[in-house]
Structure formats: structure tokens, C-alpha cells
Structure 1
Amino acid sequence: MNRNVNAISGRLSLRKPQRDSLELLHRLTEILSWEKGSSKKSPDLAAVLSAIRNEFPTVTDFEREFASLCFALATGVGKTRLMGAFIAYLHLEHGINNFFVMAPNLTIYNKLITDFTPNTRKYVFKGISEFATDAPEIITGDDYESKAGTLFDQLLRCKINIFNIGKINSEVRGGKSPRIKRLSEYIGESYFDYLAGLPDLVLIMDESHRYRASAGVRAINELKPILGLELTATPFVEGPKGAVPFKNVILDYPLGRAMTDGFVKEPAVVTRKDFSPLGMSAEAIEQLKLEDGVRMHEQTKVLLETYAREADAKIVKPFVLVIARDVTHAKSLVELIKSDDFFEGRYKDKVIQVDSSKTGADEDQMIQDLLAVESTESPTEIVIHVNMLKEGWDVTNLYTIVPLRAANARILIEQSIGRGLRLPYGKRTGVAAVDRLSIIAHDKFQEIIDEASKPGSMIKMKQVILTAEETGEKISTVVSESNLKAKLGFQPENQTSSTENAGKDTKPAFDTPDKQRVAQIAYEVIKRLEAKPEQAPTMEALKTLEVQKFILQEVAAQYHAGPQQMEMEGIAPKLDMAAIITETTSLVVNEMIPIPRILVVPKGEVKSWFEPFTLELSSIKFPVPSKDLWVHNLHTNKGEAVTVSNDGAREKRMEDYVVAGLVDFDDVSYDTNADLLYDLATQTVNHFRTYLPEEEIWQVLHFHQKDIAQFIHSQMHKHFREDKSDDDNVVISKGFTELKDSAYTAKKDGPPLDYRQSPSDKSNMAKYLFGGFQKCLYPVQKFDSDSERRLACILERDAIKWFKPAKGQFQMIYRDGANQPEYVPDFVAETETAIYMLEPKAKNEMQDATVQTKKRVAVKWCLNASEYNAEHGGKPWKYALIPHDIIADNMTLERLCQ
């Protein structure tokens, strides 16, 4: 594979469909016989089309007066970043210096200018070192005349022209020439003629379906670029007889495929359990949908915050999009939402109306509010819109859509989901609420399900049915800081309207703000000492005279540097800092369990590989795709939207399809495993030869490449081997670590249950929050089973202190196939003689391979921690895997751990 393709794909972290597109562009330049420094204008368009069509039969016509190819990528996959990859490749590989990027409207025009400008949040060339010190010159439809002096500067690396085709369309009405074609005194000719005279102009068309037949595009044809690259999610135009597909699509990556591959949210249609519209007026249905949309939104907002706090990720503020019939209807909805009767007036200052009725300053404010809706600082949580928001409104936090205008199911599906598919974290998280886009459609529920289930539908909609309990129950994100932090007066960070502090009723350890400030500064100093095991190897070492003196010096310096203290110097009573620091240190020792940070580093070189083995292939028989039909990959995993043809581009040999699929997995190195990979590929091809003729094998390998690779990869895990020296270097980077905050979703304003009482619904334990503990290091905890609750009862009796650790507390990593997830044990408890890591498990899961893998990792961690503690006078660590059926109130902790 080409060096620049590999480098750009890695630096820009291209997803597979983006990389596939870049590889296709590389192949196109080979077909066009482009060489660096040579003329690239081809006079024989028919010959170029014939050469491309021989390899890519979906390209039957350029549909323009120059070679132009369409890359159809689903919304949310990343077309703008792909533009950046195209430009970087063409410049670095072929010396192309001039690009003309077309936007269909003002919104996308402004967005593209921002994304191509260095040091912006979504800069498309981030990571391309050649552009880091010599960025391309951005020339726009607003400033091209003022930048005339730079046009002929040969020292500029390259120039990217960004123009709004919508503005050009408006200028050519009535047969007029666009401003770009008018003579410029600065250039000596029109800017258009200047561009047309360039020997290496490449035209890039964003959302090309929006202006295929416009007068502006016909004018642009006269630029005669050496190549046109079109990007769109909808490669067709609507004609009087329906959709007319493009004839120049070289890559088609449809929405159904993007959903299957996890690049966008999962759309779900939502209704109420046992809902029936019979007997309900249209107004009543409308209000119910709106209210349930807001209820869904409130749940989603809490679940998003809980996930963010658990995963230590940014908090995402979701919003609701309500689609109104017309401006009058939108205004009435805004008035309803702003009333005190609508959710007790909670949304009166959180709703905006977006439509064409606004002008002047009101329009500017509307656009500003709309563009800011993704920010957590924006108050907007409901957007009322008349016509569906079009391309260019690029947000990731749209989670609930309430369509209130009359439309058939197909239109609702196609127009409702497009703006809400982008993922806030760039990939799926595995948490349904974070990965889902909800469409509230009570009266259209079955119709939408039927439409989405039709053969040829681009998606498979999930179903969410709200129960009466769910629609009436309010939930919140409960942040459970350690008792230590609560006693020191700390508050959870980034609190929102959905956040509840589990420790809000904890009695503070210090009775004045000044004392509390000293204690908090002391705690921050102690946290820094975590990473200095040579100075404070254990928490007990914090009490030594030397360390106490160090803490006092640090606290005094920071305290007196504070502006409030400087103002009050000489007025406030003098504080006994040493006493406060001593008390704070005692709190730390008493309210924490010392958990070291352990890094295990191999002493020598680590080699890993897969041993040769014989594949089990008897169960796979992939069907041969028809060479005459479009075969769709629906969201039911039955195929993909790609044409299969005997004339299509092929790998050099059949085995290359299998090898190319396998090296896409993160744990498969081609250099280390090349012989094995080709052996497995040969086994696979020979298997297909047992029931398929040669020509059909090519088609099966091309069409089912990903599924075949996954099937083989699933068998490779058992044969993974690793060679390293017997001894490891065990590095203790921290002698103890701060207790991480936990976050839970729970019923709003509902008091925690008493941990000593078993709830009536034991099958749904995870929804309950428990409190009332005396020895737990947190005010509240959640349990996954009643066995865990019973174990907590035993710990309250037999342990000195205990807690359920949050993700990231131990950072123990184990291998699970190609993945390396973190192992988070269920409980940690300290007794007079030892510290225990406890894992209660269902009896029938005790010998599960993953459970045993986690156990080995934990036992090794405990051994290393015990050796470290033994050197510094600490307690040994012990790991216990406990079958659930022996956990009973009459059992002691010691007996459970035997």
C-alpha cells in the first residue's frame, strides 16, 4: 500500500470507510497515470471513463465535462475529515497545490472555513506534520480579491479556495455572470479565469446532491479541473418520477452499514406501552408526544451524565428537536413550553424557535443560539423547528426528536434521523442511552416499524416502549464522593440540574470556612505525595514529623497566597495550621484504604504471535451474491449496498482478501504473522473450492470479506502466544491512591434503601441505591445482586472499612481476545490483619474463562502489593473469588475467603 496513504490514514485516525475512500483515490491517480510534476489535464475524457469503468463498473458516466467521482458516505462517518485526507494525499503524493472546495449553502460554507483553519477544534489537517509549519492558504468567496497578492506566491505550500455555490447560483439568475467571473483589477483577469488557467486545479464538492443541476455548477464546469471529487450521504437527485441515482459513484457506504459498524447512533422509535390513539384528539396526541419527549430527554440527560462521570469523560448536555407544522404552530409550542404548567416551568428559559420568520438582529440571535446548542454552557434544551434542519448543522448532542407535523413513515425516517446520528464521543460506548437517538412517534409507531422492516429499507429501527412507571418517574445522577472528601467540604465537580450529591448531609470535620480551606489545601498536598513513594511510601508515613513539616510548609505558602486571606490578614483569628493538618492527615488514614499504583514492566523484549493451527471451517458456507443485482446490507446484517460484478477490481490473489481482512484487527501484526495469515487464508480458499467454482469464490471473498475475517479471528485467540522474560520489573508509582468518585442513576429525591433490608424486587437490584452504612467509605452504594448486599452486611460486621471501587481505581488490565479491558473488583475490605479484594460470583460462572483470567490478574496484583507493603510495614493483600450460594449472614469474612 502507498506510503502516503498509510501515513495520512494513521495521522488523521481515518475510519475504515474513509481509508477505503483514500485508497480508491490513490488507485484513481494510478489509472489516470498521474506523475509528480507532469501535466495532469487529460483531453480524452471518454478514454478516462472507460479505464475507470473497467475497474469500477458502478461509474457509468462522469455527468460533468470533466472526470468527477462520487464518494457516498453516510451522515456521521466524517466527510469533512475525508476532504482533508484527499487534499493532503494529492498534495504530498502528486504535488497538487490548488483546490476549489464548494459548499451548498452559507452554513456549510462557514463551517468548512472554520474546519480548514489551523488551531480550530475540528481542524482537518491536525497531525499532518508538513502542514504544521506551512499550513495551506485559505481563500474564500469573501476575501479572494483582497488576497490577490498571494495568488502568485510560489512559496505557498498550497491554496484551498472555499466558495458558496448558493451565492453563485443567486448571482447567475437572469443570465448574469457571477462576481467570480468579473474582471479583477488586482489580478488583471477575472478570478474565475485565473482558476481555470491553473494546471492542477482539483474540485471538491461537499453535499453534491444539493446542486447537481444548478446554474452555478454549470458555470463551474468551465473551470475544467483535472479531477472532481464529490461527497454526499444521498447519491441521488429527486426527479418527477422519483429518485435518480448518480452515475459516478465509486464508493457507497450507506447508513445501514454505518449503523452496523457502529459509527453512528442507533435510531429508536418510542411509544407508550399499550398506547392507542383511538378516541384521542390530534391536539391531545401532540401534547402527549411532546411531554413524553421531554420525559425521555430528562432520563437521557441523567444517564449521559452518569456515564460521563463513571467513564471520566466530558459531560454531554442533550437537547430535544421538535418539528412543527408551520411558524404559527411553532410559536404556540414555544408559548406552551414557556408556561408554568409545562413541567412546572422548568423549560421556559431553555427553548428556542428556529424558522424563517426571524429577521435582522432576531435572526442573528437565533443563529447564535442554534450554533451554541452543543455547548454545556448553553441553556437551550429544546429546539422548535418548522422545516427539518439541513446539512451543515453539525451537532453530536441531539438525542430526542419529536415530529409533530403530518408526514408518512418514510419521510419521518429519512428526515428525522439525519441531524441526530453523530456520536458525542466519536464511537459507540456500549451504553444504550449514550448510543441511541429516540424518535417519539406514538401515533406512527407501527407504521415506522413496518416501513423500516421493508426489504430495501436503509435501517432497522429499534423499539423503545415506555411504561407508566417510566413516564412518571424522575431520575437523577447521584455522585457519591468518598466520606473523606465530604467531611473536608469538597463538592462534586461540574454539577448540573440533574446532579445530586450523596454526601450533602455529611457533617463537616471543620467548623469554619478558614479551617476548611486549610484542610482542603492539605488534602491536595497529600494527593501530590501519592506520586512520591520515596517520600511517603504509605499513608501511615504521612504522620511522620518530616512529612508533616513538608505539608505545613506547602499549605502555608498556598494559603497566604490566596486573595481572600490577603484582604483579611490581621482581622481573622490566627489558625493553628499544624493542628488542622494533623487532623486532616488522621482523616485520610482513617477514611481510606491504602491502594498502591502498580506497574508491571517486562525486563526484556516481549514477542507475541499466533501459533499455526487448523481452522474449523465446516460450518461456514457463504452464499454467492448475484452479479446482476444490487445486494443490500440491511441493519439486520443481511448484506450491504454494493454491486457485485465479475468485472470489478480484484486483489492479485484470492488469499489477499482474507489477509487484508485479518490485519485490520488491532492484535494482528502482518510482519510477525505473515506466514500464518497466508496459511489460514489458503485453508479458507481451499474450503470454498470444495463447493464453489473459481469465479464464485472471488465474489464470495470480495463481498463477505469482513465476515470471513471475523470468523477466522475468533478462532485465533486460543492460539495467541507471548514470549517474555520470566521476571518482570514491578514499579510502584504511588504508595496510595485517592478514592475515585462513583456515579449512579437513581430515583430523584428518593432516599437510599437500608442495606440491611432485601428489596421486594431482587431481579432488578441495580436500580436501587443503598445507604445507612457505618464502615463503608462512601455514603451510598449499588449492588448488582442480593448476594452482594448480603456480603456488604458481613463486611459491616467483620471489616474495619470497605467500599465498592469505581472504574480506574486499580487499573488492572486483562486480555479478552483482541481487547484489553480493565478489571474492577466488586469489593475491597480492610480488617485488622489484611486487605481483601473480593469478587462474589454466581456458582455456575466460577470456572468461566474470563472470570479465571481476571482472577489470575488480581492474584498477581495482590502478590505485588503484599510484597510492597511487607517492605513498609503494611498489611498483606488477599484475593477471594466467592460463590454466591455460600454468602449468608452467619458466615464470617474469614470463612468466605478460605
Structure 2
Amino acid sequence: MPEQTLLQQFDTLDDLGIFKYEFKEFVVNNLSPNIALRPYQENAIARFEYYLDGYPKRQNPIHLLFHMATGSGKTILMTTNILYLYKQGYRNFIFFVNSTNTIEKTRANFLAKDSSKYLFNQKIIFDYQEVQVNEVQNFEAANPDDINILFTTIQGLHSRLNNPSENTVTFEEMANSKLVLISDEAHHINTLTKSEIGKREVELESSWEHTVNRIFQSNPENIMLEYTATVELRNERIREKYKDKILMEYTLKQFRLDRYSKEIKVLQSDVSPSTRILHAIILSQYRRKVAADKRMHLKPVVLIKSRTISESKQAEQDFYEQVKNLKVSDIADVKQHSRNTLLTKAFKFFDSNGITNQILIQELKEDFRPEKCIGINSEVNYTDEDQLTLNSLEDYDNELRLIFTVNMLNEGWDVLNLFDIVRIDESKGTRSTTISEAQLIGRGARYFP
């Protein structure tokens, strides 16, 4: 009989009622008051605490993975784990991920007290003393009483450590300090594990994964916590690597069954991309009207996903022309061919509320004018202002309605009011395309409010 994986062991213990979530003031009171932990998050916390404090087969240094659906609150779980580990004596944390976009979002979540998505309480108190969350570039002069976080991309961390310069972190410094390594979208660090066995050693040692492992193994008290929705367990090497590391699994299917997500519908259409986009903005306007009718503030967002940057830019320009030249006959044509669809419900609502095709056109031209749309295709042209806009889409004063993108927003984007994703390219995707689109769908699955 094959040996049980860590996840199977913990699922069995869970069925036996071993894991009992215990309210801990130093965790809950130091979280943002806007955060209410859900049962599956409490279960993940209970599993984590049991592994650290009660699991007889615990391995050191500790390496665990939380395999949880996009939108299920992995960043909240990171925050609770940071607070718990602070209580255990850990002060220095390295947060690393694949994209700059995710770094900026997480930096705001952990550091920006004026952000609506700030995850900690305004004051973090441990043993009657206030604790600060500091961003650091190295740990040499880090305050031993605070939470010190080095934010970096995997590529940046690899470059810093293998090409050291003044005031940057070094392998030697890390070996003298117990660290917590936090890897978001952790599937990106498995380049070495997925590589062919016969690959040249020099290539293996130059990989990002090798650098992360070297840090992790430098001190037996180190802890590595990985978080992802898309670990590639179909890959035999990946499955073998994580058989004793996956502590918690919470799938998108379970997320939906527990009614924490919107209902996901994948629709295929043989109409042109411009017509699909027109359908999407009509439905988006319908959602806004229904919400207003229920006295709810909702500004639904539409995302247009293209395969290439040039395709995305062209789609954006074509859309502006389409909206500018929109005619009553265009809306009438959509209405005529919308039998037994959600569009049918939308037009019935418009008719019953006196919203004629001409009025709808005027609203679409206003709500989807260029100033309320944005193209996010390249980090080169991605400004701090863009970052703030995309991370505050739910705010009352944020009127952004439509986003054009390729892959920039697949990861590291927290949004509640994304309702429609239109894929320009209908060709069959690859395995990597399937993973990225699963992540993107997860972005839109989160409930609003």
C-alpha cells in the first residue's frame, strides 16, 4: 500500500475532528477589521498550527504549500501566517513572486495603511507593544522587534544574490538569520523540478529554483510557505516534490459549491470579436442597472483578453471606433438574435424600465468612452497610477469599466467586480494557456460585494 501524502494524512485527521480552530487574539485582532475569516481559512490556519506544534513527522526546515483557488483569500492566509510566526519568534520575511504587478499589489496590501485593501489592523499589538511592518532591502539592520519584509520578484532575488552589490541581501547574511520565505503563485519556481534529468549541472545551478532552495536550506529554522491555485500535479516530478508538502487544498469547484464565488459560465460564440465585446458591454450595463434598482453600488468591469500585444492594441482601437459609431440598428440586431439568452433578460429589463435602444447607446458611449477604458499589455508602459486604478476598481470614485490585456493580469490582481471576460482568440490553447486562463477566470469568480 503506497504511503499517504501529507494532504491525505491531514484530510484524515480533519475527518476525525483533530483540527479545531482556536481564536487567537494576536492573530484576529491584528488583522484588518474588514476581514472575517471563512471556515476554510480557519481550517487552513488550524492545519498550519498543528503541523508546527503537534505533527510528529514534521520535517525541518519546514516547507509547506497551500493549494487554494484563485480568489479564496490566499493573501489573507499569508497575513495570518505572518502574525502567527511573529509570535513564534520570526521577524524576517522574504515575499517573492514572478511578476512586478503582484509585488506592487502585495506591497500595498501589507504596507499602505490608507488602502481599502490593507490587510493588517491600523495598529499591530503584541504583548502590549506596537509592532511595525517594514519594507527592507536586507536584514542586516532590520529592527528585531518589527515585521521586516523584503519584496522581490524571483528573477530579482536570483540576480541580487548571484550578483551582490552594496546594501543588498547576501547568501551569507541569510545563513545567519532564520527566515520565512513566502512564495506567491508558487508554480513559477519549479523550473528545476520540471527539467530533464540529463540537463547540464551548470544550467541547474543557475536556475531560480536552485537559488530559492539554497536560501531555504541555509538555516534549519527556515520556513518556506508556498501559495498557488495551479500546482502542476500531473507532472510526475512536481507530484513527487509536493507529496509531503501540500497541507491544504481548496479547489475552485469547492469554492463555488460553498457559494463564495460567482457562478461561472463559459460561453462559445461564432460571432465576430467586436460583436462579442458589444454583447459584453450591454450585459455589463444591464448588471449596473439591476444593481442600481436594488440600491446597490456596483460598477461591473469587462476584461478583453487577446493573444498578442498587437492584437490587444488593435482590439482597443477598434472598440473605440465601434462605440463612437454605434447605431440603433446595431442594438436592434443584437436584440433580434438574443433569443433565450441572458441578453434576452437584459433587453426585457431595459424595455420594462423605459430604456430605449437610443438611450442605451448614449449610456454605452458615456460609460465606455476611452477615459473609462485602459490597455494593460506591457510592464514597460505600466505606471504607478495604472496600478492604483486596477487595485481599487471597487471604489466609488473609480469609473474604469473595460480593460484590454494579454497576460499582465492573470496573476496578482485582486478584483471583486469583474463579471465578464471576452476572449478575442478562439483557437485551442496549450497546457500553459489553460493554466493562465484558469487563473484569470478565478479573478472574476470572487463575489461582489
Computing the radius of gyration from Cα coordinates, the structure with the larger value is: 1
Aligned letter for 1:299? Y
Query: For residue 659 of structure 1, what is the aligned residue in structure 2?
Result: none
Query: For residue 290 of structure 2, what is the aligned residue in structure 1?
Result: 303
- Give 1:78 shift: 0.8
Structure 1, residues 248-284: CA drift from partner, whole Å, max 9, x if none?
212111111111112222212357xxxx84xxxxxx5
Query: For residue 211 of structure 1, what is the aligned residue in structure 2?
Result: 189
Find the aligned partners of 1:245 and 1:385 in 2 and give their Cα distance. Answer: 34
Secondary structure of 1:267's aligned partner: coil
Structure 1, residues 41-61: CA drift from partner, whole Å, max 9, x if none?
xxxxxxxxxx24xxxxxxxxx
Query: For residue 369 of structure 2, what is the aligned residue in structure 1?
Result: 348
- Give 1:21 shift: 1.4
Find the aligned partners of 1:366 and 1:96 in 2 and give their Cα distance. Answer: 34
Query: For residue 164 of structure 1, what is the aligned residue in structure 2?
Result: 153
Q: 2:402 aligns with which of 382, 386, 405?
A: 382
Q: For residues 107 and 415 of structure 1, do their structure 2 counterparts lie closer, same or farther at Cα, with a shift above 3 Å needed? A: closer
Q: For residues 424 and 165 of structure 1, do their structure 2 counterparts lie closer, same or farther at Cα, with a shift above 3 Å needed? A: same
Find the aligned partners of 1:296 and 1:15 in 2 and give their Cα distance. Answer: 31
Residue 262 (str. 1) matches residue 253 (str. 2): no
Secondary structure of 2:403's aligned partner: strand
Q: Is the 8 A contact 2:410 2:437 kept in 1?
A: no
Aligned letter for 2:448? P
Q: Is the 8 A contact 2:110 2:133 kept in 1?
A: no
- Give 1:244 shift: 8.3
Structure 1, residues 18-50: CA drift from partner, whole Å, max 9, x if none?
1111111111122468xxxxxxxxxxxxxxxxx
Q: For residues 87 and 3 of structure 1, do their structure 2 counterparts lie closer, same or farther at Cα, with a shift above 3 Å needed? A: same
Find the aligned partners of 1:232 and 1:23 in 2 and give their Cα distance. Answer: 19
- Give 1:68 shift: 0.8
Q: Is the 8 A contact 1:109 1:163 kept in 2?
A: yes
Residue 316 (str. 1) matches residue 298 (str. 2): yes
Residue 28 (str. 1) matches residue 51 (str. 2): yes
- Give 1:237 shift: 6.4
Query: For residue 194 of structure 1, what is the aligned residue in structure 2?
Result: 173
Aligned letter for 1:250? L
Over the aligned positions, Cα root-mean-square deviation in angstroms equals: 3.5
Residue 249 (str. 1) matches residue 242 (str. 2): no
Q: 2:101 aligns with which of 102, 107, 119?
A: 107
Q: Is the 8 A contact 2:280 2:302 kept in 1?
A: yes
Query: For residue 342 of structure 2, what is the aligned residue in structure 1?
Result: none
Find the aligned partners of 1:99 and 1:384 in 2 and give their Cα distance. Answer: 34
Q: Is the 8 A contact 1:196 1:222 kept in 2?
A: no
Find the aligned partners of 1:240 and 1:26 in 2 and give their Cα distance. Answer: 29
- Give 1:236 shift: 2.0
What is the percentage of aligned positions where both structures have the same residue?
Answer: 23
Residue 135 (str. 1) matches residue 131 (str. 2): yes
Query: For residue 814 of structure 1, what is the aligned residue in structure 2?
Result: none
Residue 76 (str. 1) matches residue 71 (str. 2): yes
Q: For residues 321 and 245 of structure 1, do their structure 2 counterparts lie closer, same or farther at Cα, with a shift above 3 Å needed? A: farther
Q: Is the 8 A contact 1:106 1:166 kept in 2?
A: no
Aligned letter for 1:75? T
Secondary structure of 1:380's aligned partner: coil
Find the aligned partners of 2:84 and 2:51 in 1 and give their Cα distance. Answer: 12
Structure 1, residues 265-314: CA drift from partner, whole Å, max 9, x if none?
2212357xxxx84xxxxxx532321211111111011122333x2xxx6x
Q: For residues 91 and 242 of structure 1, do their structure 2 counterparts lie closer, same or farther at Cα, with a shift above 3 Å needed? A: closer
Aligned letter for 1:398? L
Find the aligned partners of 1:196 and 1:329 in 2 and give their Cα distance. Answer: 47
Structure 1, residues 202-231: CA drift from partner, whole Å, max 9, x if none?
222222112223623322322335222211
Q: Is the 8 A contact 2:304 2:423 kept in 1?
A: yes
Q: Is the 8 A contact 2:288 2:299 kept in 1?
A: yes
Residue 123 (str. 1) matches residue 143 (str. 2): no
Structure 1, residues 384-426: CA drift from partner, whole Å, max 9, x if none?
123362211111111111112124389396255122122232x
Q: Is the 8 A contact 2:274 2:319 kept in 1?
A: no
Find the aligned partners of 2:308 and 2:157 in 1 and give their Cα distance. Answer: 29
Q: Is the 8 A contact 1:235 1:245 kept in 2?
A: no
Find the aligned partners of 2:92 and 2:309 in 1 and give their Cα distance. Answer: 44
Find the aligned partners of 1:178 and 1:233 in 2 and give their Cα distance. Answer: 29
- Give 1:316 shift: 2.5
Q: 1:221 aligns with which of 210, 213, 218?
A: 213
Structure 1, residues 502-523: CA drift from partner, whole Å, max 9, x if none?
xxxxxxxxxxxxxxxxxxxxxx
Structure with bigger RCO (C-alpha 8 Å, 6+ apart): 2
Find the aligned partners of 1:380 and 1:202 in 2 and give their Cα distance. Answer: 37
Q: For residues 295 and 242 of structure 1, do their structure 2 counterparts lie closer, same or farther at Cα, with a shift above 3 Å needed? A: farther
Q: For residues 322 and 216 of structure 1, do their structure 2 counterparts lie closer, same or farther at Cα, with a shift above 3 Å needed? A: same
- Give 1:70 shift: 0.8
Q: 2:25 aligns with which of 1, 4, 7?
A: 7
Q: Is the 8 A contact 2:185 2:227 kept in 1?
A: yes
Q: 2:319 aligns with which of 337, 342, 346?
A: 337
TM-score (norm 1): 0.37
Question: Which ranges in structure 1 are unaligned for 5 or more consecutive residues?
Answer: 34-50, 53-61, 278-283, 426-898
Aligned letter for 2:152? F
Query: For residue 356 of structure 2, what is the aligned residue in structure 1?
Result: none
Q: For residues 161 and 203 of structure 1, do their structure 2 counterparts lie closer, same or farther at Cα, with a shift above 3 Å needed? A: same
Q: Is the 8 A contact 2:27 2:84 kept in 1?
A: no
- Give 1:377 shift: 2.6
Query: For residue 89 of structure 2, what is the aligned residue in structure 1?
Result: 95
Q: For residues 264 and 245 of structure 1, do their structure 2 counterparts lie closer, same or farther at Cα, with a shift above 3 Å needed? A: farther
Residue 17 (str. 1) matches residue 43 (str. 2): no
Structure 1, residues 115-134: CA drift from partner, whole Å, max 9, x if none?
22262433333285429952
Question: Which ranges in structure 2 are unaligned for 5 or more consecutive residues?
Answer: 1-18, 193-206, 327-360
Find the aligned partners of 2:147 and 2:388 in 1 and give their Cα distance. Answer: 32
Q: For residues 341 and 99 of structure 1, do their structure 2 counterparts lie closer, same or farther at Cα, with a shift above 3 Å needed? A: same
- Give 1:90 shift: 2.1
Query: For residue 425 of structure 2, what is the aligned residue in structure 1?
Result: 405
Find the aligned partners of 2:380 and 2:28 in 1 and give their Cα distance. Answer: 45
Find the aligned partners of 1:265 and 1:210 in 2 and give their Cα distance. Answer: 27
Aligned letter for 2:212? I
- Give 1:326 shift: 2.6
Find the aligned partners of 2:257 and 2:398 in 1 and give their Cα distance. Answer: 33
Structure 1, residues 561-619: CA drift from partner, whole Å, max 9, x if none?
xxxxxxxxxxxxxxxxxxxxxxxxxxxxxxxxxxxxxxxxxxxxxxxxxxxxxxxxxxx
TM-score (norm 2): 0.69
Count the aligned residue pairs: 361
- Give 1:3 shift: 9.1
Find the aligned partners of 1:327 and 1:204 in 2 and give their Cα distance. Answer: 31
